[in-house]
Structure formats: structure tokens, C-alpha cells
Structure 1
């Protein structure tokens, strides 16, 4: 066996990987336990009609749990939303900004606020889902207060359990727990998609050449996403010369790495929610109205204009992605804090004065990176929609899901590599300390 493979197997975190598999097994098991008093046949018809709106997107992130109304139907989205709200408050309100600077105690308090806000959001979303379910004909078998109570309690409990499970994965498993749960939900729908695709090819509803074209497009887009996500803009940094014991040590150079896509996949998720939410609300309003007056006709035409695959939808989607990219980049990257840390450590950017000039220089780079990153996200998200609308593909192939899968996979592999390296360094330090104890 090669030496590299032996060292990799020795340092591989098998216990963490086993814990991750057990946690994901529990998650997928709960995604198949339905809530009571639901007519599953009517539920399937409801989701077939609402496949291209916000219900379809949330169903994708929940791994199909929402389409079967299981105990994990709300998924992890309330926790993600509350985490982003806390990040926003940490950059706006002085109280949360001071908590962020308090170290571990501040992080613990922010985590507690995030959990409480997740509970509130889950209750609101669970109440909305129960009202929508009860309003549909022949969908709920036993209506009344009992149905509302059981549905809200089940959905909220499922979300809080997933929040706890994601935190356990982050601490005892591998990768970010929230991202891993969303990743597993998206991956779980791929086998059914492939089976349905093979069935459609057999009955000649889809051309084989079209399937080959889609497969090639998927490979090219995956390579493109990996290339961009692994790309970095490195800023050269020099350190001031130090004099220790009448010796002058020359200044060292290093780099400040900045990702090409700073905002990640969050802007695509938020942009999809903002665009699809009014479409879903208007569609439900039209179904309840059942009138053919001027206002209802106007709303139907509006839905047709902003539905996925239309030109107006692509324009609004691109604008929303660009906006959320700049908005979220300002939340997760603080150029003033970075400049202060460089100044405290005796580092400087060649040709740039410390302080305001450094902040301005970093801000200009961040603006250019964010603009290019937003264009890249919009391109990856719109290309699949173009193919779906032009070639009438009978299944959903989303750019947002591709971004999530690739980004989470890269982060997962990076964390495994870092863990293996840390294990090697720990074993090396143990050997050095053992030799010191023997000779001294």
C-alpha cells in the first residue's frame, strides 16, 4: 500500500464520519414519517401544481419532506433565516456588535438568541402551513383545533430537533451541520430523478441526445463552479522589520486570501425566495377567488410574466442576486476590522498606508469580487432555467442546488484535509515531547 494512503487512513476521522452517517440516517428516517390526518393523494396533486413556486424550492431543501408532510417538513430553513437575522443585527445594533466581540460568552448568547428566533419563525411557518392545508379541499381528514395543535407542534418540534442535530454534526461530525443537512436533502432526490429520466427515455418522451446534452452541461457547470469556488484573490502583505537582541530580522511576506465568491450560495436562496414568494401568494389568491374579473385576469397575466423561464423573471432574479450578494458580503466581511488586525500585527499592504487607505483599498477589491461573484451566481442559476423552458424538461434541474452541492462538498473535503494535517502535527509533537522526556 502506498505510504500516502497509509498515513491518510491513519489520520482519517473515522469516528466523526460514523457519527455523521448516523445523524444523516436519523434525518432521512424522520423525513419519511408523515404527520397525521393528511390525504396523501390530494397532497401529491397539490405539489404537482406548485412544483415551480416557493413550495418546490422548500421541498428541494427539505429533501422531499415537505411534499410528503413529514415531521421534518419545515426543514432547517427557519434556523438559517434566524442565523442571517442575527448576522444582520450584529452589524447594525451596538448591543449585538458588542456581544460579537466578547469571545466565547458572546457567541453563546448570540447562539441562544438564534435558537429562540428559530422557535418563533418555526411557529409562524407551522401556523401558516396548517392554515393552508386546512383550506385545501379533501386534503385534511380531521379538521379543527386538534389538527392545528398537532400539526404546529409536530412541525416546530421537527425543526428544533434538526437545529439541535445540525449543531451536533458541527461539533462531533464533519463539516457544517446546517449545510450537510441541506446537502443530504438535495442528494436524496437524485436517485428518483435518474429513475424517472430513464423511464421517460424508454417511452420516447425524452430524446437520448437531449439527455447526453444535459449530462455534458452538468459536467461543464460543475467544473466551472469548482474552478470559481476554489479561486482566490491574494493580497500581498509585508511585515515591519523587528529588532531583537541587537539583531534586525527582515520583514516576511504573506498573503491575505479573498474568495472570488465571497457571499456563497445564500444570495441565490434569498433571491429565489423573494421572487417565488409573491408568485405563490398570488396563485393561492386566484385559486380561492374563482372569479374572472379584470383584477383576477391581471394577476394571471402577471404570474405568467414573472414565472420561471420568462424574460422578466430572469431580469428580476438577476437584480435580486446582485443586491443580496452585495448585502450579504458586507455582513460577513468587515474591511475595517481586517485593516485594524493588520495594523496591530505590524503588517501592511505594499504601497498602501495603514488605516483609512487600507480600508478603502480592501473595499475596492471586495466590490469588484462581489460584482464578479454575483454575475457568476446569476449565470449558474439562470442557465438551467433556460434549458427547462426551452426544451420542456419534465424535471427540475436547479443551479442553486448545484451550487449548494459543490460548495458543501469542497468545504467537507477541506475540513477532512485540515483534520488529517492536525492529527499529523499532534503525533509529531508527541514524538518530540517523548524524546525530550527521555533525554532530559
Structure 2
């Protein structure tokens, strides 16, 4: 990986793209520390020092904002509204035939869906910024904080804060598209990578500074290396379904007669099932957090659903991850569509008839492949939590295993794109 970056910096065109990407990442990180107008920066820092933790749902948003949420900065919402909007648009393809028709139209239809995603992102940013400001004003953003982070509660101040956070989300969306267009890699994925990686040094340092810090730090590093190796192994693993294309005449030329394969990854859903499961499990805790009562159902929710060490929480977490892995894979990979495209261009799987039998075979393969993929996601998501409980680490590192999945996945994809561009520029062929 390092040699690929070194060779890329020696190529002028790639060097400009890499420097542009790094520059956008720097701007993104600077915006994560700029306080929103109306927020008392001094009180925010005091609350961060006093706080005893946040709700898991707010911790999820804080993770993807690189810690900007708790800072109540201009980029407080991070990339989360865009992620949510993209997922909603993908899910609506199943419900709304118009969206599915746009998806099948090719580049023009995809551009239209992208435009809908942008509009929905701004709408979600307005909703989420209003929610975050309301939670901050009520004192629920920082549990145990004795000072107010928003001293002025006037309507004008609140509107300016909502407008600023929404504009920050729009700017993040634009920066991500700039990276995809002029830089290296997928812009949105790299901004998520930057947000998560920015929190690692602080979290590791807090572990090393506690009781028995050195031994705990070594244990966490060993666990991280183990998880990274598992993530790399599984993310690179795939089932190659062979496909043979028959020869056909187009005009005076003969086409086809080639052999290829359909790459089916073990984890086709990526990290989306873990995000869905965590968000769904965090909702009861968020409702209980707003309740002032300390008896009855509130205590039961806090003890069984909010506590990450509770058996019910762990069991529901695993079940939801497996369910959403199958659900999201079924949405993103359509066996009927793949079978129709193969039949249209004269392709077939050896030993399987074209058409409906091919779709049934692909559906069978997907079902078998998704089973170990969903279990892998559950293990990686729970392994850091189990280790922290065993070691007695109380540092809040949200999505420990999932963070590694995102960081390693984005890193692998970016290096692949750099190597492919290097091959295009330094390809020598058979003759030197």
C-alpha cells in the first residue's frame, strides 16, 4: 500500500489528485472544530469534560461527524444525512416503480436519483439539526453537565443555528462530490474514513492513560490487528459464478465466445446492516433518556436494551444484523435482473438454463453466501464490545469493530483505484 502511494506521488497527474483529496480532507476537519453561531465554545468544552456519555444514536452521528456533533460545530451533522438519504432512495426503489425505472435508464436516470438524494439530504439536515439543537437545549446531549451550551434561546439564534448546520451538510456533500470528480476514490467514503480515523488517536490515548493502561492498550492493539486481518480476508473473499457467452454475428463481425464470472462477495451489504441494527436498538434508549421517570419500563429499557453488556441487547443486535444483511442484499442484488441481462446478451451459467432457472440458482447462491457474511458482521461488531467489558474499559468507542470495517474497506478500495490508475499510466505491454 505504501509503495503504491510513493509511486503515485511520483506521477504528476496522480500527485495533483492526491494533494487535492488531502486538501479537501483538511478543510473537512477544520469545519469540524468551527463552533456554530450561538454556541458557547467554553461551555461545550466544559460539558465534554464532565459528560458521562451519550446515547448510542447520538454516538452514531458523532462517529460519522468525527466528533463534530458534541462540539456543535458547523459540520456537526457530518455525512450522516447524506448516508440516510442514499439508503432511503435505495429502499424506495422497491416501493416506487418510478425510482426503479430511473435506475434502469442508465446514466440519465442515475443523475436524477442523485438529485433526489441531494434534496432529501437537505430536508434531513434541517430535521436533524433541529433535533440536535432541541436535545442540546434540554441538556440531554451531555449527561451530567451543569452548564448550558446554548446561552441564548431566542428564535433568531435557533434559526441561524439550523441554517448554519444545514449549510454545513450541503458543503460536506459538495466536498465529497469534488473528491469523486477531481480526486482519488469515492468522496463520501473518504470523508467517513476521515471522520472515524480522527477519533482513533484520542480514544487509544485515553485507554493508555487509565489504570493498567499499557496492558489494556496492548490488548486493544492486538484485537485491532486480529479484526483488521479478518476484515481484509472476508472483504476480499468472493464466490465467482462462471458465465459463458455464446458467439453471435453483428454485421460482419463475430462477438462473444468468451468466459467470465459474476463476483459475489461474502459481505455484499457492507456495513449498512450494523448501522441499521444499531440505530434501531438506540431508539428505545433515546425515548427512555427523554423520560424523567426512573421506575417501570424506563429502568427495564436501560437495563436490557441500552446496556451493551445485557444478554437481550446482544441477542437483538445479532438478530437484527443478520436480518438486515439479508434484507439489504436482496435490495442491492436482483437475481431476476442479472438473469435477464445475461439472457439478453447470450450469456449463461454452465449447466444452468437461461432465464428463470438462472435467477433461481443465483438466489440460492446469494442465500448461502449471505449466511456467513451476516455472522461475520455480527462477530466483528460484538468483538470489541466483549473485549472492553472483559478488560473493564469504560472509554466510549462507538462502533469499534464497525469502524475498522469502514476504515479497512475504504482504504482497500482507494488503494485499488490508485493502482489501476498507475497501471494505465505505466503500462509497458510485452515490448519495452
Corresponding residue for residue 298 of structure 2 = 299
Distance 1:223 1:52 in 2: 30
Corresponding residue for residue 116 of structure 2 = 113
Matches within 5 A, 1:312-391: 312-391=312-391
Distance 2:255 2:112 in 1: 43
Query: How much has 1:395 moved relative to structure 2?
Result: 2.0
Distance 1:151 1:414 in 2: 40
Q: 1:41 to 1:299 in 2, by over 3 A?
A: farther
Matched, 1:273 2:272: no
Q: 1:145 to 1:96 in 2, by over 3 A?
A: same
Matched, 1:36 2:37: yes
Q: 1:237 aligns with which of 232, 243, 247?
A: 243
SS at match of 1:235: strand
Contact map agreement 2:32 2:67 (CA 8 A) in 1:
yes
Corresponding residue for residue 192 of structure 2 = 182
SS at match of 1:256: strand
Unmatched 5+ stretches in structure 1: 432-440
Contact map agreement 1:11 1:420 (CA 8 A) in 2:
no
Corresponding residue for residue 437 of structure 1 = none
Query: How much has 1:209 moved relative to structure 2?
Result: 2.9
SS at match of 1:237: strand
Distance 2:170 2:191 in 1: 13
Contact map agreement 2:244 2:260 (CA 8 A) in 1:
yes
Corresponding residue for residue 435 of structure 1 = none
- More divergent stretch after superposition (345-354 vs 208-217): 208-217
Corresponding residue for residue 205 of structure 2 = 195
Distance 1:280 1:246 in 2: 67
Matches within 5 A, 1:67-106: 67-106=70-109
Unmatched 5+ stretches in structure 2: 140-146
Note the alpha carbon deviations across 1:294-320, whole angstroms, 9 max, x for none.
Answer: xx3431232111121211111111111
TM-score, length of structure 1 as denominator length: 0.87
Distance 2:162 2:337 in 1: 42
TM-score, length of structure 2 as denominator length: 0.89
Q: 1:156 to 1:193 in 2, by over 3 A?
A: same
Q: 1:134 to 1:10 in 2, by over 3 A?
A: closer
Q: 1:210 aligns with which of 208, 216, 236?
A: 216
Corresponding residue for residue 16 of structure 2 = 15
Distance 1:45 1:313 in 2: 32
Distance 1:77 1:244 in 2: 48
Distance 2:243 2:251 in 1: 25
Query: How much has 1:10 moved relative to structure 2?
Result: 3.7
Note the alpha carbon deviations across 1:21-51, whole angstroms, 9 max, x for none.
Answer: 1110110110110113334465456563333
Q: 1:54 to 1:12 in 2, by over 3 A?
A: same
Larger radius of gyration between Structure 1 and Structure 2: 1
Distance 2:138 2:8 in 1: 60
Matched, 1:395 2:395: yes
Matched, 1:415 2:414: no
Q: 1:402 to 1:6 in 2, by over 3 A?
A: closer
Q: 1:161 aligns with which of 152, 164, 171?
A: 171
Contact map agreement 1:388 1:396 (CA 8 A) in 2:
no
C-alpha RMSD of matched pairs (Å): 2.7
SS at match of 1:234: strand
Query: How much has 1:7 moved relative to structure 2?
Result: 9.1
Query: How much has 1:20 moved relative to structure 2?
Result: 0.3
- Tell me the matched-pair count: 415
Corresponding residue for residue 142 of structure 2 = none
Note the alpha carbon deviations across 1:179-235, whole angstroms, 9 max, x for none.
Answer: 1111101111122223323332xxxx1253333222211111110110000011011
Query: How much has 1:108 moved relative to structure 2?
Result: 1.7
SS at match of 2:69: coil
Corresponding residue for residue 128 of structure 1 = 131
